[in-house]
Structure 1
Amino acid sequence: MLTISNLYAGYGKVEVLHGISLDIPKGRLVTLIGSNGAGKTTTMRAISGMLKPSSGSVRLNDQDITGFDAHRIARAGLAHSPEGRRVFASMTVTDNLLLGAFPRYVGARPKGDIKLDLEKALELFPRLKERRSQLAGTLSGGEQQMLAMARAVMLNPDVILLDEPSMGLAPILVEEVFRIITRLKSEGVTMLLVEQFAAAALNVADYGYVLENGSISVHGPAASLKTDPKVVAAYLGGAAAHN
């Protein structure tokens, strides 16, 4: 479904990713964990076209999308819910969601029933349903995070990238975000999740990769990573409360 091979990327002369490889099979939830500065967000940006890789490849559904512009990658079927939310503050919740479906309106993606999908998204995110006519900029941080996730879902994508969906949220909202991720997984949505709460991410994921200083140090089924002594010592000791 989504395959990243020997990917190098960075900013200017600073190389952040040193030849990483990831495989996200259809219908699976894969998580990428690591400390701050390890290169997780850079990985997501390089996959989604926000950053041009210097070498390596990104393939979606056997199509080489390496170096494509972000809008072209979205039209190919990859949705990115970015770190920092990036909602359209002066537009309503509903209009933000409909923008997520824009490639479907212009024929770049299968159109389907956008109105029905909008209602399904609002049912999945009940807080947004209550605020569907509200300006996105007036939402709380947690509500904006849910809006960014729901907007990605509205593309009806083949793969969703979720970059730090729980960042800055109160514990009760973190639980809500993971409830939604679990629901999407049960519906067969293919996802790559970058998450600060490693224990919570591994609890919901099928497979995991650990990124250290721009390289993959270990990977395997999520259940085995949860008991790997090095992973436990480095990433799970302070996250037990989020199991």
Structure 2
Amino acid sequence: MLSINNLHAGYYGKVKVLHGISLHVPKAKVVTLIGSNGAGKTTTMRAISGMIKPTDGEITMGEGNAAKRIDAMDSHKIARLGLAHSPEGRRVFATMSVTDNLLLGAFPRLTWARPKGDIAADLERAIELFPRLKERRNQLAGTLSGGEQQMLAMARAIMLNPDLVLLDEPSMGLAPILVDEVFRIIERLKNEGVTMLLVEQFAAAALNVADYGYVLENGRVAIHGPAEQLKNDPSVKAAYLGASH
């Protein structure tokens, strides 16, 4: 579904952040990126979704003959191919209602850049999947709590009816009870066959829900393997799991 080969990326005027990482996200699987702050996790997500342009390497999305290189594409074109990004920091449209935020997630479908499908039914599904949003569907997004905004950002991504979802730090800044709820939702999406790449500060929780994991250190893949294997790896335990959720 998503393949990254020898990816190098950074930010204008700054040193490179990624130094040749490679990873693969199979269809209908959950893959997680874990690592310390500054390891390159969010930069990886931004490079995949077109928010920054890689300086070298390839990013390919799709299966078989339908696979396309996306590393030189703009973000809106990547979204049309079926990639949804729930970014770090939520970034909801504060002066718009919850419902309008969700409909913006379906914008490529409304413009026929992607198959339209039943948007009304998917809107109700999103509200049902994130029940905290149901009674707030007409409320301005900027008046929601942090946890509610995080759920709105995730629900907005799902409204694309995506082939692949990038979830960047979905539990950041949330109370423990809301962290548990976020991971229950991720588990449900996984059971529905949604393909996800997950960046998460709570490494243990991420590995519990993921099928496969990559550990980033200083912009490089230090170790990777099945999630269960990483959970039992002594070096991963010592560095990332001692105080994890």
| Fold agreement, TM-score > 0.5 | yes
**3-state SS of the aligned residue for 1:117?**
helix
Name 2:43's counterpart in structure 1. 42
* 1:130, distance to aligned residue in structure 2 (A): 1.3
Size of the aligned set, in residue pairs, is 240
**Alignment of 1:3 onto 2:8:** no
| Aligned counterparts, 1:51-66, within 5 A | 51-61=52-62, 62-66=67-71
Give, in whole Å, the separation in 1 of the partners of 2:72 and 2:149: 29
C-alpha offsets along residues 136-188 of structure 1, whole Å, 9 cap, x if unaligned? 00000000000000000000000000000000000000000001000000000
**3-state SS of the aligned residue for 1:35?**
coil
Name 1:134's counterpart in structure 2. 139
Name 1:179's counterpart in structure 2. 184
Dislocated runs of 4+, deviation >6 Å: none
Name 1:150's counterpart in structure 2. 155
C-alpha offsets along residues 33-53 of structure 1, whole Å, 9 cap, x if unaligned? 000010100000000000000
Give, in whole Å, the separation in 2 of the partners of 1:39 and 1:48: 15
Name 2:221's counterpart in structure 1. 216
1:71 to 76, 80, 83: 76
* Identity fraction in percent: 77
* 1:75, distance to aligned residue in structure 2 (A): 0.6
Give, in whole Å, the separation in 1 of the partners of 2:69 and 2:87: 22
Cα root mean square deviation, aligned:
0.5
Give, in whole Å, the separation in 2 of the partners of 1:173 and 1:167: 10
**Alignment of 1:203 onto 2:208:** yes
| Aligned counterparts, 1:92-131, within 5 A | 92-131=97-136
Structure 1 unaligned residues grouped into runs of 5+: none
* 1:14, distance to aligned residue in structure 2 (A): 1.1
Give, in whole Å, the separation in 2 of the partners of 1:49 and 1:19: 17
Q: TM-score, normalised by structure 2?
A: 0.97
C-alpha offsets along residues 69-114 of structure 1, whole Å, 9 cap, x if unaligned? 1111101110000000000000000000000000001111111000
Q: TM-score, normalised by structure 1?
A: 0.98
Give, in whole Å, the separation in 2 of the partners of 1:110 and 1:136: 27
Give, in whole Å, the separation in 2 of the partners of 1:148 and 1:142: 10
Name 1:189's counterpart in structure 2. 194
**3-state SS of the aligned residue for 2:88?**
coil
Give, in whole Å, the separation in 1 of the partners of 2:169 and 2:72: 23
Structure 2 unaligned residues grouped into runs of 5+: none
